[in-house]
Structure 1
Amino acid sequence: MTNFKKREKHLRKMLQEQPNNTEIMNKLALTLIQRNRYMEVHKYFLKACSLSPNVQQLTNLAYFYFTEGKPVLEEGEKEYGFEHANQEAIELLEKAVLDNPTFHLPYSLLGWIYMYEEQESKAIEPLLKSVSIKPEIDAFNNLGVCYYRSNQMEKAAFYFEKAYSQDTSSLMPLLNYGICLAKLGEGKKALDIANKLVQLNHKQSEVNFGDIAAIYYTLQQYEEFIETFSLEDIDFLTVDWLPPYFYALNYVGNKETMEQLVENIIKRKEADIQEVLADNDEEWEPGRKEEYIEEEKQDIAYLRTERGKVLKGIRPKIKVELSYGIGLCYYFGCEEHGNPSIQEME
């Protein structure tokens, strides 16, 4: 196991001897990440970027802004906090790719952040550039999500399959591929994938069973949908996830079970409202208690409305949230994740 305290001490000594060496600054910043010293991480990434704004320093500062945010001192506060800084990250990465670098990291990261900001049309070009340099699971999967969101299902399925082929132990692109195939009407393939996902997810717990169940629902395999969806802790799901479950129960002849489930959820919410009304805890922010009660009342009204639709035979749409950003490391020079620095690659 790496002794990060010892590494930090060694790098600080080196930096004293070479105060403008940006490679040492980068290594020190990456070491300080492991020690949760984020203000100092920002200091060294920012300084390295100002001294040498090359693709490595621009990308590393951008990734820090995307994952941790930008330090800010709020009025009246004594300690710095971190605020959302995705736009700053995008600007840094757009500058990083201006000279058409031959490294995939800035392109893949830029595409990911564009997606996070729901700018899929901008995300596709850097993601395609990324996979042309280095085929890897994250960019392929993100491309699939971009095309899925723009209703280009065949292209989406192509890239999800590509993503899964990069790492067949990862369930996220396989889930996305299965959902996409179900939408395309590829029933046999989609059903095989759903069955495989259920089996693997019992061991890996990587994706939500509710998302796997969406494949069965799309294929109108309601018994399998109910069995898989029931593996979720239904008490902790937001109400907008529940109507397809109500529909499936009613469809297979379990109307009473469906009715009882709806009533139980409503009773819990009504009891929760009474509990909140009786709660005199001063920790409630002004207006938040009233807002919370109103949200619970809206949930109750929603449940009753959706139950009524189900009893009329109206099939609700299922909520599907494709996963993206698998969690690869985008720091140049990160030894812990096997990312070489530009200096090591040249």
Structure 2
Amino acid sequence: MNLLQKGIQAMKEQKLDEAAKYLTEAIDKHPEEPLAYINFGNLLLKMNEFDRAERFFEKAVKLDETAATAYYGLGSVFYEKGMFSKAQGFFETAHQKGLQSGDVFFMIGMCLYRQEQPKLALPYLQRAAELEPEDVDARFQYGLALAQIGQVDLAHDVFKKVLELKEDHSDAHYNLGVVCLYHDDPQKALAHFERALEIQPDHILAGHGKGKVEEMLKEEDKKDNR
């Protein structure tokens, strides 16, 4: 393996100091190679050093304006900074430059969702889920976007699929509980809220939902006993 490959491998193994050493050597040896800067930027992202990461991705773009993954990296920097509109622009540029992975569709969708535009986010999140059918996060966020625009039955099916992929997904259970309440099925809703709390005892929303349903069921029992 060359220095760049050694750096990427070390990063995959979470050996960040070792990765930094190899990537620094790769940049010193081949200062005109954009991939070394891109991967060093990715390493800095992992270390939450966003300003430094931005500089490395910008250097890569200067060396190669067609480097789609450098634009994706810049999108990731601004997404982490909470600058979702700017991040969206970079992710869209990455897509225009040829990046067709589920990740880029997912991130464009998430930028739109974070800007409170779930209807616009929906096709991107749907596409991400289609391209990466085992990606739990993409499918879950797709379900949330559906729920946000009132497509409750479709959201229900998506959350069920999330649980097929990851049975202990507390947020999927919580959202299924909400859907069950929407369909006037408090017993099923309670079961989902309780399961969410088994998985994540500090799930505040599930705790609130459980309390609400229990109060509802108590009121129904009082009416039945009159």
Q: Does 1:228 align with 2:192?
A: yes
Alignment-derived partner of residue 36 in structure 2: 57
Higher-Rg structure is 1
Alignment-derived partner of residue 30 in structure 1: 8
CA 1:41/1:192 → structure 2, altered by over 3 Å: closer, same or farther? closer
1:170-190 CA-to-partner distances (Å, cap 9, x unmatched) read 222121111111110112212
CA 1:150/1:30 → structure 2, altered by over 3 Å: closer, same or farther? closer
1:40 to 9, 12, 18: 18
CA 1:91/1:190 → structure 2, altered by over 3 Å: closer, same or farther? same
TM-score, scaled to structure 2: 0.80
Q: Does 1:108 align with 2:69?
A: no
**Paired amino acid for 1:26:** L
Distance in structure 1 (CA, Å) of the matches to 2:219 and 2:165: 29
Asked if structure 2 preserves the Cα contact closer than 8 Å seen for 1:178 and 1:190, the reply is: yes
1:97-132 CA-to-partner distances (Å, cap 9, x unmatched) read 245533332222221232122111211011112223
**Paired amino acid for 1:43:** K
CA 1:125/1:233 → structure 2, altered by over 3 Å: closer, same or farther? same
1:142 to 101, 104, 107: 107
- For structure 1, which segment, 119-128 or 227-236, has the greater mean C-alpha deviation from structure 2 after superposition? 227-236
Return the structure number with greater relative CO, CA threshold 8 A, min gap 6.
Answer: 1
Alignment-derived partner of residue 83 in structure 2: 119
Distance in structure 1 (CA, Å) of the matches to 2:190 and 2:69: 41
Alignment-derived partner of residue 182 in structure 1: 147
Asked if structure 2 preserves the Cα contact closer than 8 Å seen for 1:198 and 1:228, the reply is: no
Instruction: Say how many residue pairs are matched.
Output: 215
Counterparts in 2 of 1:1-346, with a 5 A limit?
Answer: 24-33=2-11, 37-51=15-29, 52-67=31-46, 69=47, 84-98=48-62, 101-132=65-96, 133-202=98-167, 208-217=169-178, 220-221=182-183, 222-234=186-198, 236-238=200-202, 240-241=204-205, 242-253=207-218
Distance in structure 2 (CA, Å) of the matches to 1:213 and 1:229: 5
Taking only the aligned residue pairs, the percentage that are identical comes to: 18
Distance in structure 2 (CA, Å) of the matches to 1:177 and 1:193: 8
TM-score, scaled to structure 1: 0.55
Superposition deviation, residue 64 in structure 1: 1.1
CA 1:90/1:253 → structure 2, altered by over 3 Å: closer, same or farther? farther
1:53-102 CA-to-partner distances (Å, cap 9, x unmatched) read 432111111111121x3xxxxxxxxxxxxxx4122112211232245533
Distance in structure 2 (CA, Å) of the matches to 1:142 and 1:123: 9
Superposition deviation, residue 32 in structure 1: 4.1
Distance in structure 2 (CA, Å) of the matches to 1:139 and 1:34: 20
In structure 2, the gaps of 5 or more residues are: 222-226
In structure 1, the gaps of 5 or more residues are: 1-10, 12-23, 70-83, 257-346
1:280-326 CA-to-partner distances (Å, cap 9, x unmatched) read xxxxxxxxxxxxxxxxxxxxxxxxxxxxxxxxxxxxxxxxxxxxxxx
Asked if structure 2 preserves the Cα contact closer than 8 Å seen for 1:114 and 1:123, the reply is: yes
CA-atom RMSD in angstroms: 2.8
Superposition deviation, residue 228 in structure 1: 2.2
